[in-house]
Structure 1
Amino acid sequence: MKSSTDGNAASAPPQPAGKAGDLKLRVLSALVMAPVVLAAVWAGGWVLRALLVAAALLAVAEWVNLVPSTRRSAALLSSGAGVVASLVTLIALGAGAAVGVAALFILVVALAGGGRDRTLLGIGVFYVSLGLIGLDWLRDRPDDGLALFLYAMLAVWATDIGAYAAGRSIGGPKLAPRISPKKTWAGLIGGMVSAGLAGWAVAEVAGAAQPLLALLVAAMSAVVAQAGDLFESAVKRRYDIKDSGHLIPGHGGILDRIDGLLVAAPVLALFHATIGTAVSWW
């Protein structure tokens, strides 16, 4: 659920006509998707869960296509089962048990799929399921679930936009040149600033107890989201693949769009359930 701009292009040179056209396609795709996503987030409940499960199933399918295996069909089926089992466990037994089930499916998928990189293959279902657990847990908070979900999602969107803008306008030293050559430190800082402001705005509108703390948490969420982005980029670079898929015109695959959110959401959920509760930040 990333925004229409991508931190991977943070320090790219001025775009030629072809790339400008691609940017327009990405913006149009985002404009089509955004109302659907926001409507489901607003509705919550099983409407949102249906969207989250659909996105998670597509994401693990892309992961299985990305990481080689000797039994691809078995890897697909076990990965899908892991996603569904994680959500069912979350609803029935809570987040702790759901994380345990997601971790168990690392082994299940690795054994089912086989191959030289079977452990990495199994990690994919944990990576995606953990994001699903975090997002559903945030939205399911009885009093402030909608605000917390929007806080997480908009902070990640703002991270991508801020990183893109700062990287293009400032440039400078590369963040992780061996993994994602176009990312810069300026882009990361720009993403943190943008995410902090977005988080602060949501906190103010929601009437959070400590909006300034919400600003700091959102800024740190930008770092976590960039880490998720770099993780997927490292896997794609390992197999010399540009995009995880071609589902979304101008954007690539669903995994390319939600890689940062998959990591940022569970980290935010953990913070809210522990330190956040202790300091009454929201």
Structure 2
Amino acid sequence: MTTVAAAADDAKRWRDLRKRALSAAVLGPAAVACIWFGAEAFTALMAIAVAVLAWEWVHLCGRRTRVFPGLAVPLVVLAAGAFAVEDHPRIALAVLVAGWIATWVGAQRMGSSLTQPAGRLAAGVLYIGLAGIALIELRHDTEAGRANVLFLFLVVWASDIGAYMAGRAFGGPKLAPSISPNKTWSGAAGGLVCALIAGGACALAFTPTASLLAITVVVAIVSVASMIGDLLESAIKRHFKVKDTSSLIPGHGGLLDRLDGVLAAAPVASIISFMLGLGRPLWGWG
């Protein structure tokens, strides 16, 4: 009976692995192709992603994107992204902040019909918009954009995969049980190790003489930011009392579930890139 119970428990832990693998096999190459083939393809991908992310957020708040105030979230984020595409990041940020305030105020005036408070609906503007602007700015660097965005996504993906595999395999003490009872310290360690391998390989492929210390530090920063984003998304879902943000992606839930790490890591990577200057890879400070 013990053997049977152990086998059943093991199967339960890995039951969503096949769906996850199939979804990743479809979505991963498409994202990498858009990153690789140019800023235009990546911008188109970002526009689609932002629209879906905004739709999921608005629905979490009990609203619809076809009418105000729900419609304000995708409109503001896409407008800010358009200015970022035209290389006006300061205007993009100003539009984002102004749109966040306007969405909050507008939602408050329609508060009697809101499922969630106005501030939570408006928060989606910043949550999605900041990451969108950051990714556009990173990729539009004609010299280092491809390397930086590919590096960012590989580190985030490796962190997620490593945390999933190590956490399911080893278990152990919980990382943040009040936020996400399934996440463990062993998973966090596994995610960091995988991120170091994937990020290090990517960085050395683009710049073979890069400083290993610089690569390690930047990978660690981006990986930890990704894990914080994962925990933040878990807290958001706990707040909204949902398991997934939608059922869009088999095995992964919604796009917000899939891009939680990117939403947190992209602004961090963009700040690093801004500090280094144009044409420099994220690990190019060593």
TM bucket, shorter chain: 0.7 to 0.9
| Contact 1:64–1:75, Cα closer than 8 Å, also in 2 | no
Return the offset for 1:58: 0.4
Question: Is residue 16 of structure 2 the alignment partner of residue 16 of structure 1?
Answer: no
Question: Is residue 61 of structure 2 the alignment partner of residue 67 of structure 1?
Answer: yes
Question: Is residue 254 of structure 2 the alignment partner of residue 258 of structure 1?
Answer: no
> Alpha-carbon deviations, 1:217-256, whole Å to 9, x = none?
1122111111111112111111210000111122111111
Q: Amino acid of the residue matched to residue 194 of structure 1?
A: C
Return the offset for 1:71: 9.2
The residue that corresponds to 2:285 in the other structure is 281
The residue that corresponds to 2:41 in the other structure is 47
The residue that corresponds to 2:233 in the other structure is 232
| CA gap 1:164/1:52 in 2 versus in 1, 3 angstroms | same
> Alpha-carbon deviations, 1:19-72, whole Å to 9, x = none?
62x321221121122222121111122221111111111001101111245998
CA distance in 1, matches of 2:154, 2:126: 23
Q: Amino acid of the residue matched to residue 49 of structure 2?
A: A
CA distance in 2, matches of 1:69, 1:111: 16
- Residue from 22, 31, 49 that aligns with 1:28: 22
Q: Amino acid of the residue matched to residue 58 of structure 1?
A: V
Q: Amino acid of the residue matched to residue 92 of structure 1?
A: E
| CA gap 1:107/1:15 in 2 versus in 1, 3 angstroms | farther
Question: RMSD in angstroms over aligned alpha carbons?
Answer: 2.3
CA distance in 2, matches of 1:36, 1:129: 22
Which deviates more from structure 2 when the two are superposed, residues 170-179 or residues 85-94? 85-94
TM-score scaled by length of structure 2: 0.86
| CA gap 1:71/1:83 in 2 versus in 1, 3 angstroms | closer
| CA gap 1:92/1:275 in 2 versus in 1, 3 angstroms | closer
Q: Percent identity?
A: 39
> Alpha-carbon deviations, 1:165-210, whole Å to 9, x = none?
2212332221111111111122112212211221111110001632
| CA gap 1:23/1:89 in 2 versus in 1, 3 angstroms | same
Return the offset for 1:279: 8.9
Which deviates more from structure 2 when the two are superposed, residues 36-45 or residues 108-117? 108-117
Return the offset for 1:109: 2.1
- Residue from 89, 92, 101 that aligns with 1:98: 92
CA distance in 1, matches of 2:147, 2:117: 39
> Alpha-carbon deviations, 1:131-174, whole Å to 9, x = none?
11111111111111111111000000000111112212332221
The residue that corresponds to 1:214 in the other structure is 215
| Contact 1:71–1:112, Cα closer than 8 Å, also in 2 | no
The residue that corresponds to 1:153 in the other structure is 153
CA distance in 2, matches of 1:201, 1:33: 21
- In terms of Rg, which structure is larger? 2
RCO higher in structure (CA 8 A, sep ≥6): 1
Q: Amino acid of the residue matched to residue 142 of structure 2?
A: P
TM-score scaled by length of structure 1: 0.87
The residue that corresponds to 2:5 in the other structure is none
- Secondary structure at 2:253 match in 1: coil
Which deviates more from structure 2 when the two are superposed, residues 30-39 or residues 54-63? 30-39
- Secondary structure at 1:175 match in 2: strand
CA distance in 2, matches of 1:79, 1:195: 32
Q: Amino acid of the residue matched to residue 149 of structure 2?
A: F
Q: Amino acid of the residue matched to residue 167 of structure 1?
A: G
The residue that corresponds to 1:132 in the other structure is 132
Which deviates more from structure 2 when the two are superposed, residues 98-107 or residues 217-226? 98-107
Q: How many residues align?
A: 268
Which runs of 5 or more structure 2 residues have no equivalent in the other structure? 1-8, 109-113
